[in-house]
């Protein structure tokens, strides 16, 4: 049994006076604007959440972590914590240099003394750390499409914590939590890691876990970055606060963890264990498919359901924290209570009820009843407030296809039909219109096309977030960029990709703007379909071909799709 050690752990911050001085001096240093994920990592580096790390990994540490979950000195550490940068910045920074790390408002949070600069083998990192170089894994997708090409490593001198304006009283550093546990005399503490709202089953299982371990309970939700598409942390925290009242007084507390999850299943579980150990916990609940990323591109689970528990058990002593098995709780109607599924002796004589996550989302989406035995009314109310039924939420219809394929025409018809129905504001972001008003300085290189599409995605995501309907109709020739836009939008509402799959021959034969002719003559360079690529969408929500079909029919097909997805009512 790990003994509780609640003495302070080392942080990377300098004293208040030195910080002021350093901040002043650091104004002259070359500086890097941290990404949201890097800010999360930096906060946990500085406050000891990632102890024993002293900074972003050096190349030798990185190699060890990737290959066998160990730093160069043999210490267990399963997750690469690296500072990724782009080529431009890499060309300006040298090993031996100090650089200032700034948040997104330009505030200097820390200084990095660069000891290492290297180009990582990202495919190897994906294979070893996440189990497959498969873009369906959110962290692999991030690695290849969001993270910079070059990594910097070196020790950190912490100047100040990242600023948070939300739920300040609920955020604790490892030392603040340790001090809290000391003050209350808590000796054994079970941590519950979560990125989802808690319902009655979770409340039951966490309470049982704590009781069985004769421990107090720490609800330790992640509020940094979770899986794209998760319920936003503002809503979740309001839900957690409601559930906290359901535990017997003074047995349980909650603290928010600004972690950027990687959804790395087994490795992630070990990492979570080390982080909870640093926060003063003695036990951690590890569930079925802990930190699972969902299905791979072949439609199979990335990890086995108990891989995370197995790996955790293997390293438990080294982590210094004991694993508490997650019990699958189900509701027994006759006894009106939750019981662990594997402890029900009279299974055949009783009625067992359960609502899956998918079913819950469906009920929320369609405004259906969510029974009281499943969740607390306060939690359901919160979820309904932020997830109104789909027919009242914002969404984006994203047409993609070759020039002249009919995107704009269908998009216009769709807009008019949706406006006729009423209820939500509709905005059309047509390719040509966007290029005039938002992207007039851009050309048609891959880089410029990507900037253009990301701008459209950003505007559409804001419209979707605020309950409107955005209709986009650019060519958007690249799969990765379309995927990035999908992720931006799915954080707030549905993304309906419509491939206007009119064949090139037909588009060229129409040549409504005379551009194909010019492209064939070489008078327009980088013309999609002629001298520039178009990557065909693999699984759009809908594909339509306008050859020999009238616009009204195509727009109607989109309307039917929107109805079947519950986005509009018939």
Q: Which CB sits closer to ligand PPS, 124 or 512?
A: 512
What radius of gyration do the chain's Cα atoms show? 26
Ligand-binding site membership of 3 (annotated): no
Tell me whether the omega of the peptide bond preceding residue 218 falls within 30 degrees of 0, making it cis: no
- Of 75, 170, 171, 196, which one is the catalytic site residue? 196
**Rounded Cα–Cα distance for residues 518 and 25 (Å):** 57
Question: Which residues sit opposite 469 in a β-bridge?
Answer: 395, 426
Q: Does 55 bind ligand PPS (CB under 6 A)?
A: no
Segment contacting ligand PPS by CB under 6 A, of 38-46, 277-285, 472-480, 553-561 = 472-480
| CB 325, min distance to ligand PPS, A | 50
Ligand-binding site membership of 403 (annotated): yes
Q: Does 393 bind ligand PPS (CB under 6 A)?
A: no
| CB 476, min distance to ligand PPS, A | 5
Q: Does 453 bind ligand PPS (CB under 6 A)?
A: yes
Q: Which CB sits closer to ligand PPS, 129 or 484?
A: 484
- Residue 125 token pair: 């990192």
Q: Does 408 bind ligand PPS (CB under 6 A)?
A: yes
Segment contacting ligand PPS by CB under 6 A, of 5-13, 88-96, 413-421, 470-478 = 470-478
Q: 296 catalytic, yes or no?
A: no
Judged by CB under 6 A, how many residues of this single chain contact ligand PPS?
Answer: 21
Cβ count near 372 (within 10 Å): 10
Q: 196 catalytic, yes or no?
A: yes
Segment contacting ligand PPS by CB under 6 A, of 44-52, 157-165, 430-438, 486-494 = 430-438
> Taking Cα atoms as reference points, which of 244, 246, 252 lies closest to residue 215?
252
Burial class of residue 561 in the structure, from the number of CB atoms within 10 Å of its CB (0-12 exposed, 13-18 middle, 19+ buried): middle
| CB 262, min distance to ligand PPS, A | 31
Q: Judged by CB under 6 A, which of 435, 465, 556, 561 binds ligand PPS? A: 435
For residue 566, the number of C-alpha atoms closer than 13 Å in the C-beta half-sphere is: 15
The most distant pair of C-alpha atoms in the chain lies apart, rounded to whole Å, by 81
Burial class of residue 533 in the structure, from the number of CB atoms within 10 Å of its CB (0-12 exposed, 13-18 middle, 19+ buried): exposed
- Binding to ligand PPS (CB under 6 A): which residues in 501-560? 513, 515, 524, 526-528, 532
The order of strands in the sheet holding 337-340 is 337-340, 329-332, 352-353
Q: Are 433 and 473 in contact (CB under 8 A)?
A: no
For residue 561, the number of C-alpha atoms closer than 13 Å in the C-beta half-sphere is: 22
- Binding to ligand PPS (CB under 6 A): which residues in 67-96? none
Ligand-binding site membership of 405 (annotated): yes
| CB 510, min distance to ligand PPS, A | 10
Segment contacting ligand PPS by CB under 6 A, of 149-157, 328-336, 401-409, 459-467 = 401-409
| CB 282, min distance to ligand PPS, A | 54
Q: Judged by CB under 6 A, which of 154, 431, 493, 540 binds ligand PPS? A: 431
Show the binding pattern over residues 162-201: x = contacts ligand PPS (CB under 6 A), - = does not: ----------------------------------------
Ligand-binding site membership of 404 (annotated): yes
Q: Are 246 and 358 in contact (CB under 8 A)?
A: no
Question: Which residues sit opposite 111 in a β-bridge?
Answer: 100, 157
Length of the chain: 570
Tell me whether the omega of the peptide bond preceding residue 409 falls within 30 degrees of 0, making it cis: no
Segment contacting ligand PPS by CB under 6 A, of 23-31, 165-173, 217-225, 474-482 = 474-482
Strand 337-340 vs strand 329-332: parallel, antiparallel, or unpaired? Answer: antiparallel
Segment contacting ligand PPS by CB under 6 A, of 13-21, 130-138, 149-157, 431-439 = 431-439
- Of 188, 195, 363, 424, which one is the catalytic site residue? 195
Cβ count near 346 (within 10 Å): 9
- Residue 14 token pair: 């300098």
> Taking Cα atoms as reference points, which of 505, 526, 529, 496 lies closest to residue 402?
529
Q: Which CB sits closer to ligand PPS, 152 or 472?
A: 472
Q: Which CB sits closer to ligand PPS, 257 or 453?
A: 453
**Rounded Cα–Cα distance for residues 207 and 243 (Å):** 12
**Rounded Cα–Cα distance for residues 53 and 353 (Å):** 45
- Binding to ligand PPS (CB under 6 A): which residues in 306-345? none
Q: 194 catalytic, yes or no?
A: yes
Sign of CA dihedral 299, 302, 308, 309: positive
Q: Give the residue numbers annotated as catalytic, written as ranges.
A: 194-196
Going by the annotation, the residues of the binding site are 401-408
Rule CB under 6 A: which residues touch ligand PPS? 403-404, 408, 431-432, 435, 444, 449, 452-453, 474-477, 513, 515, 524, 526-528, 532
């Amino acid at each position: 049994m790990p003994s509780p050690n609640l003495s302070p752990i080392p942080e990377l911050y300098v004293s208040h006076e030195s910080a002021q001085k350093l901040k002043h001096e650091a104004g002259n240093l070359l500086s890097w604007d941290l990404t949201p994920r890097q800010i999360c990592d930096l906060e946990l580096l500085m406050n000891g959440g990632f102890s024993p790390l002293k900074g972003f990994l050096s190349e030798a540490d990185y190699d060890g972590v990737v290959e066998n979950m160990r730093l160069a000195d043999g210490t267990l550490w399963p997750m690469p914590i690296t500072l990724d940068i782009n080529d431009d910045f890499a060309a300006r920074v040298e090993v031996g240099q100090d650089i200032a790390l700034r948040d997104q408002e330009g505030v200097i949070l820390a200084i990095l003394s660069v000891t290492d600069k290297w180009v990582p083998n990202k495919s190897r990192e994906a294979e070893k750390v996440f189990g497959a170089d498969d873009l369906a894994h959110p962290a692999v997708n991030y690695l290849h499409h969001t993270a910079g090409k070059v990594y910097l490593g070196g020790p950190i001198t912490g100047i100040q914590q990242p600023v948070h304006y939300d739920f300040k009283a609920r955020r604790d550093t490892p030392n603040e939590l340790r001090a809290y546990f000391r003050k209350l005399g808590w000796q054994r503490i079970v941590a519950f890691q979560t990125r989802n709202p808690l319902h009655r089953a979770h409340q039951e299982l966490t309470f049982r876990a704590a009781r069985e371990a004769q421990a107090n309970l720490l609800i330790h939700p992640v509020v940094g970055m979770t899986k794209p598409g998760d319920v936003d942390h503002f809503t979740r925290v309001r839900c957690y606060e409601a559930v906290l009242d359901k535990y017997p007084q003074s047995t349980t507390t909650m603290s928010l963890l600004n972690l950027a999850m990687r959804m790395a299943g087994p490795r992630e579980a070990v990492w979570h264990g080390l982080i909870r150990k640093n926060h003063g916990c003695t036990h951690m609940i590890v569930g079925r498919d802990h930190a699972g990323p969902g299905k791979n591109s072949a439609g199979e689970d990335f990890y086995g359901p108990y891989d995370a528990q197995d790996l955790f058990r293997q390293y438990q002593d080294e982590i210094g924290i004991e694993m508490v098995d997650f019990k699958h709780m189900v509701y027994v109607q006759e006894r009106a209570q939750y019981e662990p599924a594997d402890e029900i002796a009279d299974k055949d004589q009783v009625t067992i009820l359960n609502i899956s996550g998918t079913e819950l989302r469906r009920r929320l989406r369609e405004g259906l009843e969510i029974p009281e035995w499943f969740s607390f009314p306060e939690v359901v109310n919160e979820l309904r407030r932020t997830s109104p039924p789909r027919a009242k939420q914002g969404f984006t219809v994203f047409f993609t296809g070759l020039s002249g394929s009919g995107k704009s025409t269908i998009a216009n018809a769709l807009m008019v039909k949706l406006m006729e129905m009423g209820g939500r504001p509709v905005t059309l972001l047509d390719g040509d219109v966007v290029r005039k008003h938002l992207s007039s300085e851009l050309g048609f290189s891959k880089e410029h096309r990507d900037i253009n599409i990301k701008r459209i995605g950003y505007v559409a995501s804001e419209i979707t977030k605020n309950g409107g309907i955005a209709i986009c109709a650019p060519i958007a020739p690249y799969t990765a960029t379309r995927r990035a836009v999908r992720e931006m939008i799915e954080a707030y509402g549905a993304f309906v990709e419509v491939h206007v799959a009119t064949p090139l021959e037909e588009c060229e034969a129409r040549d409504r703007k005379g551009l194909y002719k010019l492209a064939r003559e070489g008078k327009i360079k980088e013309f999609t379909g002629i001298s520039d690529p178009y990557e065909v969408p693999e699984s759009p929500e809908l594909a339509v071909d306008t050859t020999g079909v009238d616009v009204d029919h195509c727009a109607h097909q989109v309307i039917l799709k929107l109805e079947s997805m519950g986005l509009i009512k018939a």
